[in-house]
Structure 1
Amino acid sequence: MAGEYGLKRYFDADAARLLGGRIRAVQPGFDVEGYAAEVDSRIPGKELKDRVLVLAEGLRTRLPADYADAVPVLLAILGDELAEGEGMFTNSWFLMPVARFVEEYGLDHPDLSLDAIEEITKRHTGEYAIRPYVEQHYAPTMERVAHWARSPSHHVRRLASEGIRSHLPWARTLTMFVEDPRPVLEILEPLRSDGSEYVRRSVANNLNDISKDAPGLALATALRWMEESPTPETGRIVTHGLRTLVKKGDQQALALLGATGGEHVRVPRLSLTPGSVAVGDTLLIGFDIENTDGRAHRVAVDYVVHHVRKNGRSTPKVFKLATLELGPGERRSLEKSHAIREVRTRRYYAGEHTVDIQVNGLVRATGRFDLRT
């Protein structure tokens, strides 16, 4: 069920029956089939978030008119809390309209709604529902988020980080944190040493979001974290949290992660085979990498595909390949199979495509292939 496209297919009349059946056990007389019929008639042509909104709107017209009376009905159907490792989009995907209900209709009741979001996130996620509360009830919401960061529930602690990400996927940007990420970093402080990998992964993603708007602040924060807590867990947070800067070839980020000597590495051989491919084919990228220095170096090796766009221009996409320890004068051969496959976020257009081999963010070789469509 990964990805927006795969997930959206689950929000249909059957999802309405599943959700409605649970509600009818709490609120006898809930019109399950009427709910399912309405959803079935309204979802054609809609994407994930709009489908979820259809289900939430159907609940609003069938639950008690007073929001304060409707929320307890929804909380009563949540079920058991998820264990760590259980998927919010697998085990409890059908609760997404419940979170959307609170997101859409609860802004006049912030305390009640934040209580509900806390309970929902233990079974699903509240990372989308909380965002309008950050925007419209900033002070009390951030006070609650700071409290959540010290919750005994790893789900709630994760929400404290994930819900305030400036660039959360599938969600609108929180511009106040683009302009000033420092309140976010205050929340992340107790979470960067969290015992849950689930929480620490969110911290890393949040740091990566910050790096897109305030790279200097993200780098300074990462350096401080590594100095104060030089553990493997911190190393993984920083490595994942600086990935956008690394892909851009930011030399400070690369140096912080221990990458050195890119200027001493050359790529004497690069081959792209076959030279002409079609969508659905696989391109084999083969090259040699050589350390010309008399010292060993740790290098991050990436490849960049410059995809041709409809207007004839191209846009680069960086793909991680390997991190290597190269001894003095050492030469290695590397290969990577790159699938030319349609994805939701990319369309392919015919033309000559360029491939760069990057070492510590420095382009060391360039090749080309033709794409047929």
Structure 2
Amino acid sequence: MQEQADTGAPALKEIFDRPRLAHIAREAAAVSAGFDADVFLTRASENLDALGIMQRMRQVAMGLHAALPGDFAENINVLEALAPRLGHDFVAISLAEYVALYGLDDFDISMKALNFFTRFGSAEFAVRPFLLRDLNRTLAVMEGWAEDKNEHVRRLASEGCRPRLPWAARIPALIKDPSPVAPILERLKSDPSLYVRKSVANHLNDIGKDHADWMLERLERWPLDDPRTAWIAKHALRSLIKKGDSRALALVGAGGKPLVRVETMAVAPPEIRLGGRLSVTAKVVSTSDESQRLVVDYAVHYVKKNGAANRKVFKLRVVDLAPKSTCDLSISQTVKDFTTRKHFAGHHRVDLLVNGETLAQSGFNLLI
């Protein structure tokens, strides 16, 4: 998940508010004469205000289980009829969660159900208990999903076995050794769907946090003249590029030492209050007789509560700079608190990075 500011917008958990639960109850009763709507509403709304979004989603699945009259296989048939009636991707994830909670002992039925439910709301969370219980058997099924005609199923093949999937249980075996997922990534490395390619890139970026060499060696063998594969590689390498990794930069055509000078760099305003907007501008001049690709980023050294600084790198621009030419760069951002980052007063240094090298510095004072 990306950082989200506290802007007063409704919390994500309100996807599962009481009117939504009532809607689920009505639709479930419409497809199952034996569905007990009162039981569902009582169970699904229990302590609702205190629960986060994932807890609410899971409680909906538990409420469905309490209200449905059949065994697991019979209930799956009901939920498959319910899926297209829910009208919201994240709400439909509760159906996949039902499989995760109650289907671990019915592997074949569960795999078919996840294949179906992911078309309405991703089953990326629900497949993970199966991976934790029987990695090889589940990955064998997911390899087949990687060849499915439906892009949602193909995405699940990659997204479901990401070793560090946000909001989900980690898969320790795949953090330790990513090689079992290689067949899936190979099948999807030039997928026509951007939705799928984003997942493959994020999956590889996950792997690169623990096994950078493994990821780099694989990408160095991939056909990067294929624009689809090159797109995956560029986005998979983003964390390593921010660190200035030379092999990662080389894979996107920016491996050489930058032959440039930074003529000007400015951060404005020099003093800002929380909630204000900050701009970073720079003029970069080529000193080379040849064209060169430059990956330009900027890093903000955020002051922490104890006075130390935490460096965070942001993307700025990729530039194909002609010989002896000049490039003007600019970007702006609002300085405000996020759920993942709280700001503190003090001087914040800002670095300009070109192909991973810090070539200029400036900064701003933050007032709280």
Return the TM-score normalized by structure 2.
0.92
Partner in structure 2 of residue 276 of structure 1 = 271
How does 1:194-343 map onto structure 2 within 5 Å? 194-226=191-223, 230-343=225-338
1:145-156 aligned within 5 A: 145-156=142-153
* Offset, 1:41: 4.3
Alignment match of 2:349 (pick from 351, 354, 359): 354
The 1-side partners of 2:127 and 2:261 are apart by 49
Which residue matches 2:32?
Answer: 27
* Alignment CA distance shift 1:45-1:67 (3 Å): same
Residues 15-54 of structure 1: matches in 2 within 5 Å?
15-28=20-33, 30-33=35-38, 35-54=40-59
Q: Report SS of the residue matched to 1:316.
A: strand
1:57-136 aligned within 5 A: 57-64=62-69, 66-79=71-84, 91-136=88-133
d(CA) in 1 for partners of 2:364, 2:3: 29
Contact 1:285 1:335 in 2 (8 A): yes
Give the AA of the match of 1:237: I
Unaligned runs of 5+ residues in structure 2 are 5-9
Matched residues in 1 for 2:175 and 2:17: separation?
Answer: 35
Deviation at 1:123, TM superposition (A): 1.6
CA distance in 2, matches of 1:180, 1:235: 24
Query: What is the CA distance between 1:30 and its match in structure 2?
Result: 3.1
Structure 1 residue 179 and structure 2 residue 142: aligned? no
User: CA offset at residue 242 of structure 1?
Assistant: 1.0
- In structure 1, what is the equivalent of residue 7 of structure 2? none
Alignment-derived partner of residue 83 in structure 1: none
Classify the secondary structure of the residue corresponding to 1:189: helix
Please give the per-residue CA displacement for 1:247-297, whole angstroms capped at 9, x wherever unaligned: 111111101110144442232322111111112100111222122223221
Q: Any conservation in 2 of the 1:287–1:334 contact (CA below 8 Å)?
A: yes
Choose 310-319 or 212-221, whichever is displaced more. Answer: 310-319
Task: Tell me what 2:364 maps to.
Answer: 369
Tell whether the 8 Å contact from 1:42 to 1:54 is kept in structure 2 after alignment. no
Identity %: 37
Q: Within 1, Cα distance between the matches of 2:176 and 2:253?
A: 30
Mean Cα displacement is larger for which, 145-154 or 122-131? 145-154
User: Measured at CA, do residues 209 and 144 of structure 1 come closer, stay the same or move farther in structure 2, by a change above 3 Å?
Assistant: same
Report the TM-score, using the length of structure 1 for normalisation.
0.91
Cα RMSD after superposing both structures: 2.2
Whole-angstrom distance in 2 between the partners of 1:300 and 1:321: 8
1: CA distance between counterparts of 2:306 and 2:55? Answer: 30
Q: Deviations over 1:42-75 (max 9, x none)?
A: 1213221112122222222212363233222212
Amino acid of the residue matched to residue 206 of structure 2?
D
Q: How many residues align?
A: 363
Instruction: Using the TM superposition, give the Cα deviation of residue 39 of structure 1 relative to its aligned residue in structure 2, in angstroms.
Output: 3.7
The amino acid of 1:233's aligned partner reads: R
Measured in 1, the distance between the counterparts of 2:307 and 2:49 equals: 34
Deviation, 1:129, is: 0.3
Q: Deviations over 1:8-54 (max 9, x none)?
A: 22112122112111110122253435533544441213221112122
Runs of 5+ in structure 1 lacking a partner?
81-87
Per-residue CA distance 1:166-188 (angstroms, 9 max, x = gap):
11121122111111111111111
